[in-house]
Amino acid sequence: MPDAFNDAVKVTKSHIPTANAPARIDVPVGQNKVAANDLSCACLKRGRPPVQTPPGVNPVVTNGYAQESAMRKMRLQDIKHDSLHKVFHKDLELIIRRHTFLFHTFVVSSQCPGDQQSLLLQLKSNLTFDPATSKKLMKWNNGSDYCSWEGVSCKKSCVSNLDLSSEVITGGLDNSSSLFGLKSIENLNLAYNFFNNTQIPSEFKQLTGLSNLNMSNAGFVGQVPIEISHLTRLNFSKLAELYLDGVRISAQGTEWCQAISSSLPNLRVLSLSTCNLSVVRIENNNLSTQVPEFFSKFSNLTSLLLRNTVLYGAFPKKIFQVPTLQTIDLSGNQQLQGFLPEFPKNASLRSLVLSGANFLGLLPNSIGNLKMLSKIDISRCNFTGSIPRSIGDVTPRS
């Protein structure tokens, strides 16, 4: 084989094709080199057309293999860059999600202090109730979703409503009860149970989110704790019915009556049967109800002040005959009808004000039995007949 590299007359030629052979280049006779940076030289006769050097490729390397290798490297760099870019964004997104999850977890835990399920199970174990008749407590079991238990509902995993009414509970509720650890409760119903001789715990003050509290016919005894007044979300202003049957009210009559009249503007029903009251004062309220006859059973009643309370129906005569009654004011109740009864001897009545109420009939002769009477106002009533002479037996007192 001739020495092609030493024969200047011949054109250099590769006789053995190889995968890594450089591109074929024909050069003129007597010229061994072409300027590496002069790829546009017009003296090139035959061969592959020159390729423009890609950005970032060393222009000294001009053969096809080098160009292809450079292009592959650039593509690999682009792929790596895209992959890193995607991985970075995925990691960043994962970090953000993790931090968001941790943030939400922190918020929930701060809203629900304590283990809600454990507090409920502890409450169940402390309460005294009949498992045979229980429809709620007996279904509370560890391992299940406490927010789906009977009588329980939640907001964001915090117990918000707890209904234990009609569970025949007979005890187990005091100031140490785990109930007061459920600080997210908004509605609590303990009605129709038998908390025999159980006083209302003062720790109700811990349930500051409480807006509805039902303890009717639950068997509690004793005085309502003043701490209940700390529950500022209890909306007394919308209270329409108040049942205090059998409750012993130990506060002074003027004190609790003023509290009722100022705090319960929408009260329609006030039930106080078998209570030991001395003063009932609910003036200037829109009660829109009839006067209950059980007022006549208050053996210590001294004052009944119901002026301008939108009462209607027939006023019970027996109330006038309560031996201890000293003051009665029914004025301004235009729809309230009634008749004066026969007054007993030695009655204690000192002030009788009926102006503007629809009282009818004759003034009884027994009005003279009211020896202590110092004020009487029956203006704008509908009495008929003459004033009885016995009224002269009344001794005016200042």
Domain map (residue ranges) of the chain: 112-234, 236-398
For the entire predicted model, the pTM comes to: 0.46
Question: Looking up tokens 């009559």, which residue turns up?
Answer: 253
CATH no. of 236-398: 3.80.10.10
Q: Which ranges of the chain have pLDDT less than 50?
A: 1, 4-5, 8, 10-16, 18-19, 21, 27, 30-45, 57, 60-62, 87-110
- Nearest CA to 192 out of 169, 213, 223 is that of 169
Distance of alpha carbon 244 from alpha carbon 35, whole angstroms: 113
**Strands 327-329 and 351-353: what pairing?**
parallel
User: What 3-state DSSP class applies to 368?
Assistant: helix
**Strands 327-329 and 382-384: what pairing?**
unpaired
CA angle 31-37-41, nearest 5°?
55
The pLDDT assigned to 92 comes to: 39
Distance of alpha carbon 160 from alpha carbon 239, whole angstroms: 21
112-234 shares its CATH topology with 236-398: yes
The pLDDT assigned to 230 comes to: 77
289, 265 Cβ separation under 8 angstroms: no
Distance of alpha carbon 315 from alpha carbon 319, whole angstroms: 8
CATH no. of 112-234: 3.80.10.10
The pLDDT assigned to 227 comes to: 84
Distance of alpha carbon 310 from alpha carbon 104, whole angstroms: 53
Question: Looking up tokens 């027996």, which residue turns up?
Answer: 318
Count the neighbouring beta carbons within 10 Å of the beta carbon of residue 289: 16
The β-bridge partners of 128 are 171
The pLDDT assigned to 122 comes to: 96
346, 370 Cβ separation under 8 angstroms: no
Q: Which residues contact 8 (CB under 8 A, 6 or more apart)?
A: 29, 30
Count the neighbouring beta carbons within 10 Å of the beta carbon of residue 102: 10
Q: Is 127 exposed, middle or buried (0-12, 13-18, 19+ CB in 10 A)?
A: buried
User: What 3-state DSSP class applies to 219?
Assistant: coil
The pLDDT assigned to 77 comes to: 62
The pLDDT assigned to 81 comes to: 53
Handedness of CA 321, 322, 326, 332 (dihedral sign): negative
The region, left, alpha or beta by phi > 0 then psi within -120 to 50, assigned to residue 83 is alpha
341, 363 Cβ separation under 8 angstroms: no
The β-bridge partners of 338 are 359
User: What 3-state DSSP class applies to 396?
Assistant: coil
The β-bridge partners of 154 are 159
Digit-coded pLDDT (tens) for 319-342: 999 999 999 999 999 999 999 999
287, 268 Cβ separation under 8 angstroms: yes
The pLDDT assigned to 233 comes to: 82
